[in-house]
A and B are shown apart, each in its own frame.
Chain A
Amino acid sequence: MIEYIVAKYNYWIYIALMMVGFYAMMAKKNLVKKLLGLNIFQWSIILFYISTSVKSGGATIPILDKAIDVANPSLYLNPLPHVLMLTAIVVGVSTTGVALALIILLYRCFRTLDEDEIFERLSE
Chain B
Amino acid sequence: MIEKQFPAIIIVAPLVMSILMNLMGILSKKGCYYLTVVTVSVSLISAIGLLQQVINSGKISYRLGGWDPPWGIEYMVDHLNAYLLVIVTAIALLAAIFSLRPIERVMPARIPQFYSLFLLLTTGLIGMTITGDAFNLYVLIEITSISCYALIAKGDDRSPLASFNYLIIGTVGACFYLLGVGYLYIMTGSLNMLDIAKILPTVYGTNAIVAAFSFFMVGIAIKMAFFPVHGWLPNAYTHSPDVVSAFMAATVTKVSAYVMIRVMFTVFDPSYSLKVFPVMDLLGWLSVGAMMYGCTLALAQREIKRLLSYIIIAEVGYIVVGISVANRLGFIGSVLHIMNDAIMMVCLFLVAGAVAFKTGAKTIDDYRGLAKRMPLSAAAFLVGTLSVVGVPPTCGFFSKWYLLLGTIEAGRYIYTAALLLSSLMSAIVGFRVLQSIYSTSSERPSLKDEAPLSMLGPIYVSVVAIMVIGFFSGDIINAVIQHTVPHGFK
Contacts and interface: CB of A to CB of B under 8 A. Distances in A.
A25 B158 contact: no
Contacts of B167: 38, 95, 98-99, 102
Q: For the complex, would chain A's binding face be called helix, strand, loop or mixed by DSSP majority?
A: helix
A106 B138 CA distance: 28
19 contacts: A34-B168, A38-B167, A38-B171, A42-B175, A45-B175, A45-B178, A48-B179, A80-B185, A81-B185, A91-B139, A91-B142, A95-B142, A98-B150, A99-B164, A99-B168, A102-B149, A102-B153, A102-B167, A105-B153
Q: Which 9 A-B pairs have the closest CB atoms?
A: A105-B160, A91-B142, A102-B164, A106-B160, A102-B160, A98-B149, A99-B167, A52-B186, A95-B171
Nearest to A97: B146
Contacts of B139: 87, 91
Interface string A43-62: 00100110010000000000
A42 B160 contact: no
Interface residues of B, number: 24
A118 B135 contact: no
B3 interface: no
Contacts of B149: 98-99, 102
B161 interface: yes
B172 interface: yes
B195 to A, nearest CB: 13
Interface residues of A, number: 30
Contacts of A105: 153, 160
Given A102-B164, A109-B157, A45 B182 contact: yes
A42 B171 contact: yes
Interface in A17-36: 22, 25, 31, 34-35
Contacts of A95: 142, 146, 167, 171
Given A48-B182, A102-B164, A41 B172 contact: yes
Contacts of A102: 149, 153, 160, 163-164, 167
A88 interface: yes
A94 interface: yes
Contacts of A88: 138, 178
Interface in A84-120: 84, 87-88, 91, 94-95, 98-99, 101-103, 105-106, 109, 118
B158 A122 contact: yes
A81 B171 CA distance: 20
Nearest to A104: B160
A42 B178 CA distance: 10
Contacts of B175: 41-42, 45
Interface in B2-29: none
A118 B168 contact: no
Nearest to A49: B182
A84 B138 CA distance: 11
A85 B168 CA distance: 20
Most buried by B among A25, A102, A122: A102
Contacts of A35: 168
A118 B161 CA distance: 9
Contacts of B185: 52, 80-81
A23 B150 CA distance: 25
Contacts of A94: 142, 146
Nearest to B157: A109
A105 B171 CA distance: 20
Given A84-B135, A102-B163, A109-B160, A25 B182 contact: no
A14 B138 CA distance: 20
Contacts of A38: 167-168, 171-172
Contacts of B178: 45, 88
B160 A25 contact: no
Contacts of A34: 168
Given A99-B149, A101-B150, A102-B164, 11 more contacts: A25-B172, A45-B182, A52-B185, A80-B185, A84-B135, A91-B138, A91-B139, A94-B142, A95-B142, A95-B146, A118-B161
